[in-house]
Structure 1
């Protein structure tokens, strides 16, 4: 009896679900069929892969070792299928993109619009998630490209710098604070703020800034939605702290620099170092570099660097 791909998929489903019942439901097959297929695999390998004695099914030591390689094999086969079907004239293709949450407020819209304008045959799946999940998703081949920040990355992740993101105080035109000069950090104590909730990494940067300068502002609203924060600020005299780039596409929002300024962050395009680079992925990388050179949020000196990286990206990326 020969090993088949379904054996691997069935084993992974049982390992991930912990029971044959849930795995069978996920696979849309009967439980007896699933159990029979797993037993076939164990006979082929002449080893027990699952411990069925408890209330939940667990991998044996041999099962743990086998699943590790089985998961990688299926990932590589999926990448091979995408490579075979990759169309170099960009008349079709698919891109799996993940971004950290703040970018959905000002960057993903222009990027998606540019992709659709240049290459209407390319479809895109866009996911919003924390940076650690983006990197693990890249390594698991669940994502093609990620947009997040530079820093310490998981082994196997490459980062190409794009531009500098600056956080600033953001208000509406009705806010009484002056807009013509930087606001001293001590004046924040007299403002009422609407801020992102603590599950955003951006909120951590904001809180660190407050702590560093001994400021305890009045936080009137916390929300886990950037859209909610911007809607509230536009309609009230509350202020917020968000990337100043967000105000460029929202004329009713006004950035007010702080003195001293909030720390900036370097935005980066993340990839898996050894990943196959599809035509859709390469095209999106090029248009990303093209777009940030034309946008006002490009930081000092990043235009030249971005151009050189864009040209270099026509070939497989080097490790960073």
Structure 2
């Protein structure tokens, strides 16, 4: 049984599509199909059934997918343990951070890594949670921060910090001394929100569905800078953690009201690919992020 074939099979099983798995793995679909055929021949069993919408696992395929995740995870940890050099960390680490988390942690992360591991270089990409997840799954990123939600089972994920969410508004649109706002009142306002690809939008839509309220933003924008600028212009309101807008809130440029009834929060998750060995550099970054997470403000 070939390890490469197992890794490819896990991606096919997760996505339910040969074409999408081929895109993620940067392979042609015929090449991926050959890997699957060889795996089925070696095991002498059918692992997938073709459907009109893609593929689905057979019973044998389901068993293999569960066992393969364990095997590949153990192999990755073994390879990392055998190759690790804790006394001399070098190399390069690619990190993905969503914009709001990046504002909070990037400076401290780079400062700490440069001080402790001067021969380790970093590339930091700021992107949406969905794009960071795809970067981790494809191997383009070594370590990433994701917001809780639909995180792939192929990723190891652990909580870094929790963020309370606030309604962010222009000062002229906030009643005097108002510090809280009910969720049902939030969804009645003209909202400026990220597109559905963003984890925050998905969280808002889920809360709106539970409340029996429609969520219909007046503007969609996936850039934090654009969201903040549009709110400052008085064109609507948005939802963000306070920690990502410290400067704007401290100067009074924007106002924040805690969302209540129900309260809203999200968790920033530290993530990496389970079946890919972590370099000593990636482990150093992970340990540093774990340490720095304790310094991040959770709410007020």
Asked if the contact 2:165/2:259 (under 8 Å) is kept, the reply is no
Q: Which residue does the alignment assign to 1:296?
A: 297
Check if 1:259 corresponds to 2:257: no
How far residue 256 of structure 1 moved from its aligned partner, in angstroms, is 0.5
Q: Which residue does the alignment assign to 1:89?
A: 88
Check if 1:143 corresponds to 2:144: no
Q: Which residue does the alignment assign to 2:239?
A: 241
How do residues 85-124 of structure 1 correspond to structure 2 at under 5 angstroms?
A: 88-90=87-89, 92-100=90-98, 102-124=100-122
Q: Distance in 2 between matches of 1:199 and 1:60?
A: 27
Aligned residue pairs total 241
Q: Which residue does the alignment assign to 1:207?
A: 205
Gaps of 5+ in 2: 1-21, 41-74
Partner-residue secondary structure (3-state), 1:163: strand
Q: Which residue does the alignment assign to 1:315?
A: none
CA 114–170 in structure 1, closer or farther in 2 if over 3 Å, else same: farther
Asked if the contact 2:156/2:271 (under 8 Å) is kept, the reply is yes
Check if 1:222 corresponds to 2:213: no
Partner-residue secondary structure (3-state), 1:192: coil
Cα deviation, 1:274-303, whole Å, max 9, x if unaligned, reads: 54333322222222122222221279xxxx
CA 110–262 in structure 1, closer or farther in 2 if over 3 Å, else same: farther
Q: Which residue does the alignment assign to 1:45?
A: none
Asked if the contact 1:148/1:267 (under 8 Å) is kept, the reply is yes
Q: Which residue does the alignment assign to 2:160?
A: 162
How far residue 137 of structure 1 moved from its aligned partner, in angstroms, is 4.4
Q: Distance in 1 between matches of 2:170 and 2:116?
A: 35
Q: Which residue does the alignment assign to 2:271?
A: 270
Q: Distance in 2 between matches of 1:214 and 1:152?
A: 22
Q: Which residue does the alignment assign to 1:191?
A: 189
TM-score (normalizing by structure 2): 0.62
Q: Distance in 2 between matches of 1:16 and 1:141?
A: 10
Q: Distance in 1 between matches of 2:113 and 2:31?
A: 44
Asked if the contact 2:182/2:262 (under 8 Å) is kept, the reply is no
Asked if the contact 1:145/1:270 (under 8 Å) is kept, the reply is yes
Asked if the contact 2:104/2:296 (under 8 Å) is kept, the reply is no
Equivalent of 2:230 in 229, 232, 238: 232
CA 298–178 in structure 1, closer or farther in 2 if over 3 Å, else same: closer
How far residue 93 of structure 1 moved from its aligned partner, in angstroms, is 2.5
Partner-residue secondary structure (3-state), 2:141: coil
How far residue 257 of structure 1 moved from its aligned partner, in angstroms, is 0.8
Partner-residue secondary structure (3-state), 2:191: strand
Q: Distance in 2 between matches of 1:66 and 1:137?
A: 27
Q: Which residue does the alignment assign to 1:279?
A: 280
Larger Rg: 1
Asked if the contact 1:157/1:271 (under 8 Å) is kept, the reply is yes
RMSD: 4.2
How far residue 107 of structure 1 moved from its aligned partner, in angstroms, is 3.6
How far residue 106 of structure 1 moved from its aligned partner, in angstroms, is 3.6
Partner-residue secondary structure (3-state), 2:94: strand
> Relative contact order, CA 8 A, sep 6+: which one is greater?
2
Asked if the contact 1:157/1:270 (under 8 Å) is kept, the reply is yes
Mean CA deviation greater in 201-210 or 248-257 = 248-257
CA 62–178 in structure 1, closer or farther in 2 if over 3 Å, else same: same
Q: Distance in 2 between matches of 1:60 and 1:270?
A: 26
Asked if the contact 2:155/2:271 (under 8 Å) is kept, the reply is yes
Asked if the contact 1:93/1:122 (under 8 Å) is kept, the reply is yes
